[in-house]
Amino acid sequence: MSKYHQIAGYDIVSTLGKGAGSVLYAARDKHGTQFCLKRVTKKAPQDQRYIDQAVAEHQIASKFDHPQLRKSFKVVKLRELIRVSEVVVVMEMVDGLTLEEYRPPSMLKTVQVCRDVAAALKSMHDDGYVHADIKPNNIMVTGDGVVKIIDFGQSCPKNTVKERIQGTPDYIAPEQVKRQAITEQTDVFCLGATMYWLLTGKNIPTVFTRRNQAGVQLKGGDDYKKITPPIELNPQMTPALSSLIMDCCQRKPEDRPDGMRTVIERLDMAIAQIKRNQAAAAGKPQPTPMDDTSEVGNAGTRGA
């Protein structure tokens, strides 16, 4: 008999955290393989949306097979009488820290992490989906330096128009607040807002103000402050990188880069510029254009 408490046949090793209507656990199966379990329990009728969201998250995440998108393996539905009262989503265990907890040690490493995120998002977009909640807390870096995008709870097919506002203050795109179509450019904005915070320590001016815990209120155009170019807040930043972040954070989707392929190309330019600056500062011969290859990132996984 197992000495551990069990959920859905998995031994619970520890509690990792709590979210909206859910609890995350570190667990392992009978073979000792580690997993992350998301347990959602319906305690009141209004909790049904958490059940539905967990199932929808698995249905989307299980379609992906990219080393930097967290894998979702199965969902277990537990019933009370004939109704589902609890679901357990079995996911890949990611042994690492979020970008809210861990800041890369240099600008170069930070930009390389962002490039990995952009590459993973491009894979999602190629499969027809948008993440719609990219932020530092949804990007993890493992002890081996592997970047992982997590939490697909707000992910949806391209061009979805949601009935209610979903997103995270400080990173949400204007079209999400206005309940307009969610597109690839939505992720471009969220990634741009994330890069802005990572490289300046400040958030971009948001297009809404918190109204209460249940929702947000859209601000008028006169209330929207212009974004300070990040290079003015962090003079060590290169012009190419600052320009990219500003373009990603444009209010209108059509004014942003047209997709993650363009973002990746421009991040590669920024990486090359940073490397040239570092070489010049160190008194080393500067790389030729043929040497300006970016580091694509790590393609391994940990955990499951």
The reported pLDDT for the residue numbered 2 is 55
Angstrom distance (rounded) from CA 207 to CA 189? 12
**Given this model, what pLDDT does residue 20 score?**
76
3-state DSSP assignment of residue 26: strand
Q: What CATH number has the domain spanning 96-291?
A: 1.10.510.10
With H, G, I as helix, E, B as strand and everything else as coil, classify residue 16: strand
φ and ψ of 164, to 5 deg: -130, 160
Q: Residue 298 — φ and ψ, nearest 5°? A: -90, 140
Per-residue confidence (pLDDT) for residue 286, from 0 to 100: 58
pLDDT at position 296 = 38
**Range list of β-strands (E), the chain:** 6-7, 10-19, 22-28, 34-41, 72-80, 83-92, 96-98, 129-130, 139-142, 147-149, 156-157, 208-212, 215-218
The span from the CA of 14 to the CA of 48, in Å, is: 26
Q: Long-range contacts of range 174-181, CB-CB < 8 Å, 24 or more positions apart?
A: 174/207, 174/251, 174/252, 175/253, 176/132, 177/207, 177/208, 177/216, 177/218, 178/218
List the CATH code of the domain at 6-92.
3.30.200.20
| Ranges of the chain with pLDDT below 50 | 1, 209-216, 218-223, 290-304
Q: How far apart are CA 226 and CA 216, in angstroms?
A: 20
**Model pLDDT, residue 78:** 82
pLDDT at residue 302, rounded to an integer? 34
pLDDT at position 277, please?
Answer: 87
From CA 205, how far away is CA 208, in angstroms rounded? 9
Extents of the domains making up the chain: 6-92, 96-291
Q: Tell me if domain 6-92 and domain 96-291 are identical in fold.
A: no
